[in-house]
Amino acid sequence: MGSFVSDTTTSDILVRLNRRSDPDNLPEMIALQKEFKVFSEKHDLKQSLALLGIVPTDELERKRWYFFLDKLKTYKSDLPNVSGHDRAIKAVQKNLESKAPLPIAVICHLAAEDANVKVSQGRPQVFSSTDHLIISIPTTPRGQPKSRATKAKK
């Protein structure tokens, strides 16, 4: 995302990712989590998302996507001493294994405003009447300089 993956690929991945655990498809995700523990400390995001088929079709973009997912291991999160990568995995795992799982939405926010991966609950789109688990990824638009907070993570 941002300077790692093209805008078109980012949009496509976010739509596919969010569709995979929207209210209509959430029961299947719950079943897959129960049976295979798709999201757990045993698997990184590259493995989990590849298993679900949420990868770019273009080989170069896929390499960039995987690079971005690995880079999330260096991002901070809204929890102390938890990387952005691990925060996302733990949040999805906890949600899918809970008694009342929520649909999941992955969105982006400007890294210049907050360099942390953030997890919350709410309605990710103004037209939605359903609460979601929201995972927000800090992103710097292509061509813009990295913020100080983003640079400090490297």
pTM greater than the 0.85 cutoff: yes
What is the full DSSP assignment across 25-88? Answer: THHHHHHHHHHH--SSTTS-HHHHHHHTT-S-SSHHHHHHHHHHHHHGGGSBBSSTT-BHHHHH
Tokens matching residue 12: 């496509």
**In this predicted structure, what is the pLDDT of residue 28?**
97
For residue 105, the surrounding DSSP H or E stretch is strand 104-110
**Which pLDDT tens digit goes with each residue over 31-58?**
999 999 999 999 999 999 999 999 999 9
3-state secondary structure of 152: helix
Is 50 exceeded by the pLDDT of residue 150? no
How many Cα atoms sit within 13 Å of 85 on the Cβ side? 19
**Which pLDDT tens digit goes with each residue over 59-71?**
999 999 999 999 9
φ and ψ of 63, to 5 deg:
-60, -40
Domain extents in the chain: 7-152
**In this predicted structure, what is the pLDDT of residue 148?**
44
Three-point CA angle 83, 84, 86, nearest 5°: 65
Is 90 exceeded by the pLDDT of residue 30? yes
pLDDT band at 149 (very low <50, low <70, confident <90, very high): very low
Q: Of all residues in the chain, what percent carry a pLDDT higher than 90?
A: 82
Encode burial over 56-83: b for 16+ CB neighbours within 10 A, e otherwise.
beeeebbebbbebbebbeebbbebeebb
**In this predicted structure, what is the pLDDT of residue 140?**
87
**Which pLDDT tens digit goes with each residue over 81-140?**
999 999 999 999 999 999 999 999 999 999 999 999 999 999 998 888 899 999 999 998
